[in-house]
Structure 1
């Protein structure tokens, strides 16, 4: 054992990858539906290795700070890329209640962590750790650590930067576990606790959106371009009604927006509908639409159904369309379908990396991803109207964009301004996150910039950056963390962690329920987003037997992801 730990100390990259190799599986172990999560699992394993090495064998780990900084900046950039498109659109329109719920939840949680630590006399570092762990946003420790390293936080006599970070890790560990457990249970059962049937409330919410379905692989990941099962079909009919003669496929689509003529067979000629030919008596047309509609109305509207393979031979592709700066932002899917939906159908819809129900009354926002299926020319036609480009399954990472963004973010974050003797700096990690927000926002709004980065590439950057940062952090604080648990510290951490888990979502819930009269299940989804907790959202969906709560999740998630970092940094500066 001593030989192994000594080898890890001399070869710190072996330690880092060992922490990830063991921490990831540990974090995914589920006990009665609950798990640590991969980040906390990596932190626990890293601290365990470093603490054992120091306490038993007197071995310490020294990892260059540059490693921690690089991976943290990569993670923050990837985080910004995720929340960027919805960060501005959520503030601008349609999500004001969700924004307010997010602000109430975030500010109250930070206040509990900051003032609670002050009130009970906890040394510096614990407050930021409680905020980070309770929000399950590990990056708060990163920005708080930058406040320490930059000098924005003045170290008290007798304290070192490592001891502050050890306190932070201790506060994070306790509050993270409590928050992961109680936030899920609390928000999940809030509708029932206040006398509402979550299943009934979900059905009421679905009725207001008029039904639908959701799901599928995330944009840019494996399986995103698979057609899969669909209720859409292409059937062939012979034109027998005089009123159709002289009309074009586009004319017919305006009259019957739930079906589209994709092919016209006239004798030996096969004409694609993109040429928009006028119909003649006796033509055989290939019509795409819902199976039930074609069966019940096809013969009535067009004529008898015939077996003409040439009219049905249409190549279908699946592509993700990121809604850009388009006049269609703010309209419902029903409106989009009748105006630009010729020949395509919607398979899935995503907002801030979360699949949301794609229902007729769902309002689309800039940055939303619509997964469309149909002939290539129809998909391209819809993408052009939405000021976007079709994205086929890809792992293209756009390294040049990332490098420039990280460079500019570092420079912006590194700049310091001294006020009343206190140096204030945005922090390099926060600067990189803001650049991620800006880049994703620009690329989503302007397809000429290349369109959004592959979600698969972004998710990898997010995971490896955060996990490596946490592993490096664990190596430094591991030997000192036990001193952070002396006396009644653990009790106070548990009390404050529990309050931070329960009180903020309750305040957001009371505002939404009694002031705004929101649907309980939609409101629970907003509270889950405001707490940055996808497992909580999953819990709400389980208890309501519906995915409808996801429509409220992205806006407060995007807002609080940025807001908690700013407030966490300030909480450390004034600790």
Structure 2
């Protein structure tokens, strides 16, 4: 044991990766339907390891890791955040406002009632709001207080310990409330309500039973008999979401144009959505084995919506308005930030969303420029653009405003978050540079936050027992209140005031806390992706605003204390 302790203390990099490995393993463990996730698991492991050995990660490592995480968070959120500033989406900012006012008020009450120190108050807010980024912004703000180095170290350690306690309470609370108790309070069957909403969104007409063994977009070849005499345009109009891609007549290829009239015995290759081609043989002719000479590869592309002058519109409206222009190109997936949205007619498509399209090369070349920018799969990370953005974030973080005797600053966290928002927005407007592949961004974001949280946990270990002894059950109770009170307020506003359907109500409640485990549990209870319709919009607002509460809660608790 002495050898292990001395090894970890002399080589903290080993301790870091040990915490990451054990933490993410702990985070995968499910108790009932709840798992902590890798970041929270890492924090818990790091706190216990910090009790066992005196391990300290370099401050520069913490700063760099958090800067990469928070810049990436802003970069990914930027396009969605700015795209949500429209009449249709802005009303959802109400839920972020409820969250902000509630958690600040509860924190202020906890400080007065329990006599919390600044670090514990900040950790309580970050954990109860399940917003890990606020740990970094609060820790950075504490480091700028006019206190001794020992006092600052103690307060920063208390942030991590209080966060770990209140986060666990907050996570369990939001998952249980949103997926189990709120549907009972609303007296609704969530699965039935989600099915009704799915149908209203257009699911009945557009919902394909797609699976890996039965892809949504298919190609089939037919021998024309019933469709003889029809033009290509008439056949396509009859079938709906399907396109005639090739026509062979007596062994020779015929140029496909809308006015070409099909003759009996023609062989035609159609590409379209599976449901459009099921049973199509009765309207065309017998389906035949695909002739190698008619083989065609579909072009797949991820396209970012950046069309000049584009305003948010539903998928159904877009399909109707551009029925002819989009012929031959099929939508497979809609992604907003880190989340995949249902491909339904009433799904709102915003600027900055990424669409996965499939179709013949000639059709894709025509349609893609009408939508926006095609993502180059060979480029995953524009180092120049990203690095310049992080530098700007550090510079913004150096700015300090003094209000009375309290220094107010965005710090590294707030500065890099705003720089990320700005650079993500610039990228959405000028997508020819600044590419940041979603997979690469997810790795950087997760590793950066987990590394920072590990450093916080290791330094919090020695203080953990003392803090728990000092405040006892008060912290868990406050952590539950920090999550439950804004959730109940938002439930009332969404359900009674805004009259939102149950799935959207619960999606908004989980979105205000940026709770991915929460919305995952709601989706599981709902049986489809309808809760994401509201979650992604509220998430975009809260993801930007909540991390900025770190300096605010530090200033507030310092002033009250």
Instruction: Tell me the CA shift for residue 261 of structure 1.
Output: 2.0
- In structure 1, the partner of 2:116 is 122
- Written as runs of structure 1 = structure 2, the 5 A alignment for 1:203-218 is 203-211=195-203, 212=206
Contact 1:191 1:521 in 2 (8 A): no
* Shift of residue 447, structure 1, vs aligned partner: 2.6
C-alpha displacement at 1:303, in angstroms?
6.9
The answer for the alignment partner of 1:187 in structure 2 is 178
Per-residue Cα deviation, 1:277-322 (whole angstroms, up to 9, x for no partner): 752554644222344544555664x677676726842211332222
Q: Map 1:438-453 onto structure 2 (within 5 A).
A: 438-449=422-433, 452-453=435-436
SS of 2:36's partner is coil
SS of alignment partner, residue 196 of structure 1 = coil
CA distance, structure 1, for counterparts of residue 410 and residue 23 of structure 2? 31
Tell me what 1:479 maps to.
Answer: 462
1:18 Cα deviation after fit: 1.5
Q: TM-score, normalised by structure 1?
A: 0.88
Q: Which runs of 5 or more residues in structure 2 are unaligned?
A: none
Q: 1:184, CA displacement in angstroms?
A: 0.3
Task: Determine the structure 2 residue equivalent to 1:38.
Answer: 38
Note the aligned Cα RMSD (angstroms): 2.8
Instruction: Give every structure 1 segment of 4 or more consecutive aligned residues whose post-TM-superposition deviation is greater than 6 Å.
Output: 214-217, 302-308
- Distance in 2 (alpha carbons) for counterparts of 1:231 and 1:216: 9
Alignment correspondent of 1:517: 499
Mapped pair 1:98 → 2:92 = yes
- Report how many aligned residue pairs link the two structures: 548
Stretch moving more, 170-179 or 264-273? 264-273
SS in 1 for 2:407: strand
Indicate how the Cα distance of structure 1 residues 103 and 234 shifts in structure 2: closer, same or farther if over 3 A, else same: farther
Matches within 5 A, 1:112-511: 112-149=106-143, 151=144, 153-155=145-147, 160-189=151-180, 190-211=182-203, 212=206, 229-230=215-216, 232-236=218-222, 238=224, 242=229, 244=231, 257-267=240-250, 269-270=252-253, 273=256, 276=257, 278-280=259-261, 282=263, 284-294=267-277, 296=279, 300=283, 309=291, 312-327=294-309, 329-338=311-320, 339=322, 340-392=325-377, 396-449=380-433, 452-487=435-470, 489-511=471-493
User: CA contact under 8 A between 1:261 and 1:288: conserved in structure 2?
Assistant: yes
What stretches of structure 1 of length at least 5 have no aligned partner?
54-59, 218-225
Cα distance in 1 for partners of 2:209, 2:3 equals 49
Whole-Å separation in 2 of the counterparts to 1:158 and 1:448? 47
Q: Secondary structure at the match of 1:322?
A: strand
State the alpha-carbon separation in 2 of the partners of residues 215 and 291 from structure 1: 8
CA distance in 2, matches of 1:215, 1:49: 48
Moved more, 69-78 or 346-355: 346-355
Cα 1:486–1:377 shift into 2, 3 Å: same
The separation in 2 between residues aligned to 1:12 and 1:328, in whole angstroms, is 51
1:538 paired to 2:517: no
Matches within 5 A, 1:52-71: 52-53=52-53, 60-71=54-65
Counterparts in 2 of 1:474 and 1:298: CA distance versus 1, 3 Å: same
Please name the residue that 1:89 is paired with. 83
**Structure 1 residues 308 and 495: CA distance shift in structure 2, 3 A:** closer
How many Å separate the matches in 2 of 1:306 and 1:170? 67
Provide the C-alpha distance between the structure 2 equivalents of 1:23 and 1:495, rounded to a whole number of angstroms. 25
In structure 1, how many angstroms separate the alpha carbons of the residues matched to 2:277 and 2:476? 61
Q: CA deviation at 1:141?
A: 1.2
Question: Does the CA contact (< 8 Å) of 1:284 and 1:308 recur in 2?
Answer: no
In structure 2, the CA distance between the partners of 1:307 and 1:521, relative to structure 1 (3 Å rule), is closer
CA drift of 1:167 comes to 1.9
Query: CA offsets, 1:487-507, max 9 Å, x none?
Result: 3x1222122111012111111
On the 8 A contact 1:81/1:458 being kept in 2, the answer is no
| 1:525 Cα offset (Å) | 0.9
User: What CA deviation, in whole Å up to 9, does each residue of 1:319-365 have, x standing for no partner?
Assistant: 22221245554222223334143212222222221122111221211
User: What TM-score do the two structures reach when normalised by structure 2?
Assistant: 0.90
**Cα contact 1:326–1:385 (8 A) shared by 2:** no
How far apart are 1:538 and its partner, in Å?
A: 1.5
For the structure 1 residues 261 and 329, does the alpha-carbon distance in structure 2 shift closer, same or farther, using more than 3 Å as the test? farther
Alignment check: 8 A CA contact 1:91 1:99 kept? no
In the alignment, is the contact (CA less than 8 A) between 1:87 and 1:559 conserved in 2?
Answer: yes
For the Cα contact (< 8 Å) 1:387–1:446, is it kept in 2? no
Please state whether the residue corresponding to 2:219 is helix, strand or coil. Answer: strand
For the residue of structure 2 that corresponds to 1:88, the secondary structure is helix
